[in-house]
Amino acid sequence: MVHQKDDIAAEVWNNCLRIIKDNINNQSFKTWFEPINPVRLTDDVLTIQVPSQFFYEWLEEHYIDLLRRTIKKELGANGRLEYSIVMDNSFNRKQEPHTVIVPTSRRSDTRAQNVSMPFRINNSNKEIPDPFVIPGIQKVKVNAQLIERYSFDNFIEGDCNRLARSAGLAIAKNPGKTAFNPLFLYSRVGLGKSHLAHAIGLEVKEKFPDKTVLYVTTDQFKAQFIESVRNNNQNDFTNFYQLIDVLIIDDIHFLSGMAKTQDVFFHILNQLHQHSKQLVITSDKPPVEIEGIEPRLLSRFKWGLTADLQSPDLETRIAILQKRLYSDGITMPENVVEYLAYSVTSNIRELEGAMISVLAQASLNKKEITLDLARQVVDNFIKHSNKEISIDYIQKIVADYFGISIETMNSKTRKRNIVQARQLSMYFAKEHTKASLTSIGLHCGNKDHATVLHACKTVKNLHDTDKSFRGYVEDLQKRIKL
């Protein structure tokens, strides 16, 4: 087998790019093909490197026919394309890329049977391989069930999660030996508590390879306990969990009403804590609000640190999108990223879902990624989700309506049109959010609560007396409620 020089591979790939560019729109070309790097040409097989698993799957799903025709044109009937996939783009983790072969001479509608699929890093669906062992002798090798991409490198820090993240890092450096044991993380869905729990486990495994780390959902824990009762080996079940050095249990609120499972978990928690083993527990509520859990177990949850993760602010939401785009090797116009961050405020999952929807619409409909396309996607996205109106969202709507920047609107200028825009932002924030007057004032140019009250009264007076101003209020009301 002959390995040809990289410059020849680059030349062949550049020829392919010229053909591809003539067949798709410019934005799709920039998003999905410019990040690709040619690696080598071996006989009739061209190897290209793509930034991520997501990137590879998108190419295979949407551009396989175009790639197959292009490679065949450049390399002949026997031409094939090999993807080198970077499975982990974390800044501090080094990992050799895995590769898959895509035979471009075959039809795309049969590729699922014929393509040699890549190794998938996806531990979320794996079960613990028969954890029950003869008790008390030695440790066993346990599948930690951690998801590699949920690392600290990929966890964006902000005011919304700084305490929880700092505690997680402290635990990872010294598991079981800090005051944060157990670490109880809680938040609404989609705000990163499971990500942070996985990150702690991954960091511990990297720093302490000999420690046994296990991530398990509460549903898995319950199912394993029920199975142990059925097979009459509860002692093996308990002894297995007492061998764990770092136990991460997700969604503990699902233990509600399960008296026997709570009892066994209580004894496991006690044993682990007494032997300085680390526990990380997550829930959608703080301990005091969880119903159906025994008081003695709730009291144990409070032994260490209870930390909440709140909705990310605007800057954090922008950083989350930029990080996801970077990790997947995708580009998106800055104004579109900012618009998505302004518009989708409920949780991180919905934010990333909106971004993927924009990418999908652009590729499937062969459109460029523009602000208008993002607006269409977000309008449709919000209709099918619970929309949470935020002060940031209101400010963006008002600033766009008057054709000014948010920075200008919140500046100290006394120009009439700027002052009115700022007052309208305060008025709508008071009407549509649960934020306090002080919080609204801080968002709107660092004003005090008295200024916010004055702005609301001014808007009401102008609405009743000024026809043009009434039109502004009604137009903005419709846009905010869209």
Q: What is the pLDDT of residue 255?
A: 87
- Tell me: the pLDDT tens digits for 377-405? 777 765 544 456 778 888 888 988 888 88
Q: Give the pair of three-digit tokens for residue 20.
A: 């591809």
Q: What is the pLDDT of residue 381?
A: 62
Residue 300 shares a structural domain with residue 231: yes
Residue 197 shares a structural domain with residue 278: yes
Last residue of a domain, one of 114, 135, 157: 114
Average pLDDT on 230-239 reads 83
The CA distance from 473 to 310, in Å, is 31
The CA distance from 445 to 429, in Å, is 13
Angle at 174 between CA 187 and CA 246, to 5 degrees: 60
Tell me if residue 276 falls in helix, strand or coil.
coil
The range of the structural domain enclosing residue 37 comes to: 3-114
Does residue 192 belong to any structural domain of this protein? yes
DSSP string, 179-211: S--SEEEE-STTSSHHHHHHHHHHHHHHH-TTS
Strand order across the beta sheet in which 37-42 lies: 3-4, 37-42, 45-50, 80-85, 98-102
| Preceding amide of 209 cis, omega within 30 | no
Number of domains in the chain: 4
Half-sphere exposure of 346 (CA within 13 A, CB side): 15
Does residue 63 belong to any structural domain of this protein? yes
Q: The CATH number of the domain where 332 resides is what?
A: 1.10.8.60
Q: The CATH number of the domain where 15 resides is what?
A: 3.30.300.180
Q: Phi-psi region for residue 390, left (φ > 0), alpha (ψ -120 to 50) or beta? A: beta
- Tell me: the pLDDT tens digits for 277-293? 999 999 988 888 888 88
Q: 461 with 431: CB under 8 angstroms?
A: no
Does residue 120 belong to any structural domain of this protein? no
Residue 330 shares a structural domain with residue 255: no
Q: Does the pLDDT value for residue 482 go beyond 70?
A: no
Residue 406 shares a structural domain with residue 450: yes
Q: The CATH number of the domain where 461 resides is what?
A: 1.10.1750.10
Q: How confident is the model at residue 5 (pLDDT cuts 50, 70, 90)?
A: low
Evaluated on CA atoms 440, 444, 445, 448, the torsion sign reads: negative
- Closest listed residue to residue 102, CA positions, set 67, 140, 76: 67
Backbone angles phi, psi at 20, to 5 degrees: -60, -40
Residue 150 shares a structural domain with residue 271: yes
Does residue 122 belong to any structural domain of this protein? no
Q: Is 464 exposed, middle or buried (0-12, 13-18, 19+ CB in 10 A)?
A: exposed
Q: The CATH number of the domain where 152 resides is what?
A: 3.40.50.300
Does residue 134 belong to any structural domain of this protein? no
Q: 276 with 154: CB under 8 angstroms?
A: no
Q: Does the pLDDT value for residue 135 go beyond 70?
A: no
DSSP string, 19-85: HHHTTS-HHHHHHHTTT-EEEEEETTEEEEEES-HHHHHHHHHHSHHHHHHHHHHHH-TT-EEEEEE
The CA distance from 24 to 414, in Å, is 49
Instruction: Report the interhelical angle of 467-481 vs 416-432 (nearest 10°).
Output: 50
Does residue 126 belong to any structural domain of this protein? no
Q: Is 481 exposed, middle or buried (0-12, 13-18, 19+ CB in 10 A)?
A: exposed
Tell me if residue 399 falls in helix, strand or coil.
helix
- Tell me: the pLDDT tens digits for 76-113? 888 888 888 765 433 333 344 444 444 443 333 323 22
Residue 19 shares a structural domain with residue 94: yes
The CA distance from 451 to 437, in Å, is 9
Does residue 127 belong to any structural domain of this protein? no
Evaluated on CA atoms 270, 278, 154, 56, the torsion sign reads: negative
In total, the chain counts a number of residues equal to 482
Residue 101 shares a structural domain with residue 230: no
Residue 174 shares a structural domain with residue 280: yes
Count the Cβ atoms, other than its own, within 10 Å of residue 367: 16
Tell me if residue 455 falls in helix, strand or coil.
helix
Residue 99 shares a structural domain with residue 191: no
Does residue 136 belong to any structural domain of this protein? no
Last residue of a domain, one of 326, 347, 374: 374
Residue 353 shares a structural domain with residue 394: no
Q: How confident is the model at residue 463 (pLDDT cuts 50, 70, 90)?
A: confident
Q: Give the pair of three-digit tokens for residue 240.
A: 């297995």
Backbone angles phi, psi at 42, to 5 degrees: -120, 110
Output 30 or 476, whichever has higher pLDDT.
Answer: 476
Q: Give the pair of three-digit tokens for residue 402.
A: 């008057």
pTM attached to this predicted model:
0.55
Q: Does the pLDDT value for residue 177 go beyond 90?
A: no
Instruction: Report the interhelical angle of 391-402 vs 334-343 (nearest 10°).
Output: 130
> What is the gyration radius of the CA atoms in the chain, in angstroms?
27
Residue 100 shares a structural domain with residue 186: no
Residue 198 shares a structural domain with residue 267: yes
H-helix or E-strand containing 443? helix 437-443
